[in-house]
């Protein structure tokens, strides 16, 4: 037998064995066989050990640490569905992309199967992985969406390429709790794998058991992070909302500074009534200056942790004049205001923290007044991924 013939027979037998393995796997027998078959063929054509490894993972619905809005899968499904229905991304029948489906077709699939796209419990993600000494570099190719109907039948919604979804995933900012980092997006969660997942196929081989799944995670991933250089290089940051109020405490320098600070802003507004009209409302602008009182200010501030040091960057300030909130002032506008206090401008003074303040929120999580001090301690001393746990154990 010629070498070519022997190769063809061997290759055919390999594909038959793969098909048998796949059909008898003790996992959900879903309708992405063709996509897996293509992925297997892609692996066979790999040229060397340094080539990226094709991987198929299954993301499951589970809460993500620090995210308030829900689990990764639910958030992801919601974004993708809206993109498909509004015809902003292409929906294909499978990984091979032979037939393009419309948003109307997707809705018809939902009606005919009585299965809803947004209620899928899993997302199947096609990727290439490469292991380095510092990280796992992953490149996402696309997503297969499939579920079961109420009668237990397989329902395939289709396949979407990652490149078409990338921009939308970058735009979705997540509601983050005190334990999370501010400004997280779905794209960040996806690329850093901050969600629960199982490996379904690795390098063309179907993973048969949870033991094999755990073994590959331990041996290939280990303690390495995903795409650390691209997505984890920034320092931990949280958005803190706090209030500076008037205080009646005596012999307390920080409390006195809070009151004097508010007096300085009040004096500035009295001397610049045009700012009241600009950032307030008509009723406040028509008030007599003797009737104006700055009760408090609320600041949104980005806190960045650099080792043991906290760096503060005010983003927005709202003045409460006669208990009425004025329009928010951006950090750029705040810096431009000619308000001096203790020999410095407001922006610089806020960063010094030489005053009393009450934390109202950390990221999207509201903080009660009685817990403010404890959360401040947690931010100063605790693990920024476990702020709530730190407070709980105080």
Domain co-membership, 255 together with 219: no
Percent share of the chain, pLDDT over 70: 83
Residues 293-316: what's their mean pLDDT? Answer: 92
Is position 9 within any domain?
Answer: no
Domain co-membership, 377 together with 325: yes
pLDDT at 31 over 60: no
Q: How confident is the model at residue 69 (pLDDT cuts 50, 70, 90)?
A: low
Which pLDDT score, from 0 to 100, does residue 234 have? Answer: 61
Half-sphere exposure of 290 (CA within 13 A, CB side): 0
314 vs 35, more confident: 314
Q: At what angle do helices 103-113 and 72-85 cross, to 10 degrees?
A: 120
Domain co-membership, 226 together with 371: no
**Spatial contact of 96 and 35, defined as CB atoms under 8 Å apart:** yes
Give the end of a domain, one of 231, 258, 291: 231
Which pLDDT score, from 0 to 100, does residue 63 have? Answer: 61
Q: How confident is the model at residue 7 (pLDDT cuts 50, 70, 90)?
A: very low
Which pLDDT score, from 0 to 100, does residue 344 have? Answer: 80
Which pLDDT score, from 0 to 100, does residue 232 have? Answer: 61
Which pLDDT score, from 0 to 100, does residue 139 have? Answer: 95
In this structure, what are the phi and psi dihedrals at residue 273, rounded to the nearest 5 degrees?
-60, -20
State the alpha helices, DSSP H only, in the chain: 3-23, 33-44, 72-85, 103-113, 162-171, 186-192, 210-216, 228-231, 253-271, 273-279, 282-285, 331-336, 346-352, 372-381, 387-392
Q: How confident is the model at residue 9 (pLDDT cuts 50, 70, 90)?
A: very low
Which pLDDT score, from 0 to 100, does residue 112 have? Answer: 93
Is position 108 within any domain?
Answer: yes
Is position 144 within any domain?
Answer: yes
Q: Helix or strand or coil: residue 358?
A: strand
Complete DSSP assignment for 18-37: HHHHHHT-SS---S-HHHHH
Which pLDDT score, from 0 to 100, does residue 117 have? Answer: 95
Tokens of 66: 């620090």
Which pLDDT score, from 0 to 100, does residue 15 have? Answer: 41
Give the CA radius of gyration of the chain: 28
3-state SS record for 307-339: CCEEEEEEEEEEEEECCEECCCEEHHHHHHCCC
158 vs 332, more confident: 158
The pLDDT tens digits of the residues spanning 82-121 come to 999 999 999 999 989 999 999 999 999 999 999 999 999 9
The pLDDT tens digits of the residues spanning 201-228 come to 999 899 999 999 999 999 999 999 999 8
Among 47-56, 118-127, 304-313, the range with the most confident prediction by mean pLDDT is: 118-127
Give the end of a domain, one of 231, 263, 284: 231
Is position 40 within any domain?
Answer: yes
Domain range for residue 258? 237-392
Is position 304 within any domain?
Answer: yes
23 vs 336, more confident: 336
Tell me the pTM: 0.65
Domain co-membership, 329 together with 190: no
Distance of CA 255 to the CA centre of its chain: 37
Which pLDDT score, from 0 to 100, does residue 64 have? Answer: 64
Mean pLDDT score of the chain: 83
Is position 2 within any domain?
Answer: no
List the single range of 21-30, 123-132, 236-245 with lowest mean pLDDT: 21-30
Compute the residue count for the chain.
Answer: 394
Residues 67-79: what's their mean pLDDT? Answer: 80
Domain co-membership, 56 together with 169: yes
Give the end of a domain, one of 231, 253, 269: 231
CA gap 136, 140 in Å, rounded:
12
Domain co-membership, 172 together with 59: yes
Question: Residue 196, class by beta-carbon neighbours within 10 Å (0-12 exposed, 13-18 middle, 19+ buried)?
Answer: middle
Nearest C-alpha neighbor of 306 from the set 215, 235, 388, 217: 235
Domain co-membership, 280 together with 186: no
Domain co-membership, 346 together with 197: no
User: How many structural domains is the chain composed of?
Assistant: 2
Which pLDDT score, from 0 to 100, does residue 289 have? Answer: 66
Percent share of the chain, pLDDT over 90: 52
The pLDDT tens digits of the residues spanning 335-362 come to 777 777 777 888 888 999 999 999 999 9
């Amino acid at each position: 037998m010629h070498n070519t013939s022997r190769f063809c027979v061997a290759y055919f037998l390999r594909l038959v064995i793969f098909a048998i393995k796949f059909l008898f796997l003790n996992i959900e027998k879903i309708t992405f066989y063709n996509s897996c078959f293509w992925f297997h063929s892609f692996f066979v054509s790999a040229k060397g050990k340094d080539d990226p490894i094709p991987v198929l993972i299954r993301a499951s619905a589970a809460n993500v640490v620090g995210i308030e809005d829900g689990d990764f899968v639910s958030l992801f499904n919601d974004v993708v569905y809206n993109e498909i229905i509004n015809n902003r991304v292409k929906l294909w029948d499978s990984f091979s992309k032979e037939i393009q489906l419309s948003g109307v077709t997707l809705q018809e699939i939902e009606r005919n199967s009585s299965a809803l796209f947004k209620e899928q419990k899993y997302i199947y993600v096609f990727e290439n992985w490469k292991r380095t000494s510092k990280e796992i570099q992953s490149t996402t190719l696309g997503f297969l969406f499939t579920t079961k109907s109420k009668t237990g039948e397989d329902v395939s919604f289709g396949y979407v390429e990652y490149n078409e979804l990338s921009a939308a995933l970058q735009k979705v900012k997540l509601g983050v709790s005190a334990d999370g980092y501010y400004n997280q997006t779905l794209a960040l969660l996806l690329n850093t794998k901050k969600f629960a997942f199982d490996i379904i196929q690795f390098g063309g081989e179907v993973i048969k058991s949870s033991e094999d799944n755990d073994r590959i995670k331990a041996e290939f991933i280990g303690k390495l992070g995903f795409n650390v250089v691209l997505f984890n290089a920034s320092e931990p940051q949280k958005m803190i909302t706090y209030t500076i109020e008037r205080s009646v405490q005596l012999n307390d320098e920080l409390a006195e500074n809070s009151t004097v600070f508010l007096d300085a802003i009040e004096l500035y507004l009295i001397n610049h009534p045009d700012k009241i009209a600009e950032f307030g409302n008509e009723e406040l602008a028509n008030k007599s200056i003797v009737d104006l009182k700055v009760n408090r200010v609320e600041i949104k501030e980005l806190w960045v942790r650099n080792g043991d040091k906290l760096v503060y960057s005010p983003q927005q300030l709202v003045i409460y004049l006669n208990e009425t909130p004025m329009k928010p002032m951006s950090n750029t506008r705040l810096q431009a205001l000619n308000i001096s206090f203790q020999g410095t401008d407001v922006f610089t003074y806020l960063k010094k923290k030489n005053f009393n303040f009450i934390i109202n929120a950390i990221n999207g999580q509201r903080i009660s007044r009685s817990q403010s001090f404890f959360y401040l301690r947690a931010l100063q001393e605790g693990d920024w991924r476990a702020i709530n746990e730190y407070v709980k154990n105080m």
